[in-house]
Structure 1
Amino acid sequence: MGKKVLPLSMRPRERLKEKGAKVLSEQELLAIILRTGYKGATAGELAAEILHYFGDLYQFKRAELQELTKISGIGEAKAAELLAAIELGQRIGKASCPKIGHVSSSYELGCMLAEEMKDYEQEHLLCIYLNTKNQILQKKTIFIGSLNQSIAHPREIFKIAVKIAAARIVICHNHPSGSPTPSHNDIVFTKRLKECGEMMGIELLDHLVIGGSEYISLREEGLWN
């Protein structure tokens, strides 16, 4: 009997690339983890055998190495891979977004970022992502530009906010010239970002501009209304 070859549209890896993992069945997901089947059976068929053996995912997640090796095509190496995948999945399920600090005021954040960014020779646009308790979920550099130029689109900022379920953001960028005075473009960009955030339900708390060891808060200066 020749090797069974599925059309591209039916291959789990191809479907995952095209449509994402969420549309795949449990059998397809397991087939991707297995990678190969055994003589006379494809990875998909082996996946079906495993799921049928255990009956449901609850029983499968409680599988032991000796139990897995009773299934045709599952040796100790493949059984170990499956157990590792099960354990990793359970740990991921229990994981929560780590908190890396807390923001209590623009002054505190401005002083910290001024110390961090005062010697940058290029403009850096940073975004601080916060939850509803102002705990920092992530701090990410969104853009690094040439001197006196900072170009970033709100979608780059909010894409991450949506992904990590941030409720609020603070943006910050530096002026390599040493002056923290916001430019006209800084103010326009801030207003645009604020409006986008209001539409998405993600609050822009502040925009800090760093120059040397000093900073200016656009919120405190009332420059975005």
Structure 2
Amino acid sequence: MVVEKAQPAGPREKLLTYGAKELSDAELLAIFLRTGKRGVYVVTLAEQLLGHFGSLRRLLSATLEELGAVGGIGVAKYAQLSAIAELGRRYAASWMQDEQPLLNPDMTREFLMSQLSDEQREIFMVIFLDNQHRVIKNSQLFSGTLNHVEVHPREIVREAIKVNAAAVILAHNHPSGHAEPSKADKMITERIINCCQFMNIRVLDHLVIGRGECVSFAERGWI
């Protein structure tokens, strides 16, 4: 007689048996939520949340009020979800810091989108690299309003000299979600390039981050 192998009882058991990659977004989310709500199994609650917000990214960037509108989501679960999102951002930052020379544009794009795509105001970020294009540090140097951030090229150069950077990658977000660079974006990029040239610091790229999209100045041939 052939005895069929019993299936894991839940997401945690499935993870331990098959590995985290085999879990759906809802199953992974259920592990962090830990419990459902009255009459609703935790995986079902996770599926409802994902369905309501449309994606994992939108869910993890939701406010307490937005989550509360779903029903059954209080401060504790909001704290859990916020912690997951922040842990993901910090993991990405740590991974970038520990990686080998930054030669893969996709790696840069994914990292910057994880850091900037959900910001509600414009943030200007700089990745500082050594002469072998290894990451020295990344900094959110300037922050602004919903549609404007004031950038000071000399501050970028000053920070680059402080950490002995040979090159930089620039990035900022558009909270509107549309990543197409503006005339002002092009002008500040030129100013930064000109300022960096005096200290023999290369500007490798400037990436504009929207919601789920990214525009690279280098890929457009503007740098």
1:215 aligns with 2:214: yes
Matches of residues 180-219 of structure 1 in structure 2 within 5 Å? 180-219=179-218
Which protein is bigger by CA-based radius of gyration? 1
* 3-state SS, counterpart of residue 116 of structure 1: helix
Q: Distance in 2 between matches of 1:141 and 1:116?
A: 10
Give the counterpart letter for 1:177 in structure 2.
Answer: S
1:110 aligns with 2:105: no
Q: Percent identity?
A: 34
* 3-state SS, counterpart of residue 147 of structure 1: coil
CA RMSD of aligned residues (A): 1.3
TM-score by length of 2: 0.54
User: What residue number does 2:17 align with?
Assistant: none
User: What residue number does 1:162 align with?
Assistant: 161
Q: Would you say the 8 A contact 1:100–1:138 is kept in 2?
A: no
Deviations 1:145-199 (A, max 9, x none): 0011011110111111001110000010000000010000000011111111112
Give the counterpart letter for 2:131 in structure 1.
Answer: T
Q: Distance in 1 between matches of 2:131 and 2:183?
A: 30
User: What residue number does 1:130 align with?
Assistant: 129
User: What residue number does 2:145 align with?
Assistant: 146
1:174 aligns with 2:170: no
Cα distance change, pair 100–154 in 1 and its aligned pair in 2 (3 A) = farther
Please state how far the C-alpha of 1:100 moved relative to its aligned partner: 3.9
Segments of structure 1 that go 5 or more residues without pairing to the other structure are: 1-98
Give the counterpart letter for 2:186 in structure 1.
Answer: I
Q: Distance in 2 between matches of 1:106 and 1:159?
A: 26
Q: Would you say the 8 A contact 1:110–1:215 is kept in 2?
A: yes
Matches of residues 24-173 of structure 1 in structure 2 within 5 Å? 100-101=98-99, 102-173=101-172
Q: Distance in 2 between matches of 1:111 and 1:103?
A: 12
Give the counterpart letter for 2:119 in structure 1.
Answer: Y
Segments of structure 2 that go 5 or more residues without pairing to the other structure are: 1-96
Deviations 1:71-92 (A, max 9, x none): xxxxxxxxxxxxxxxxxxxxxx
Q: How many residues align?
A: 126
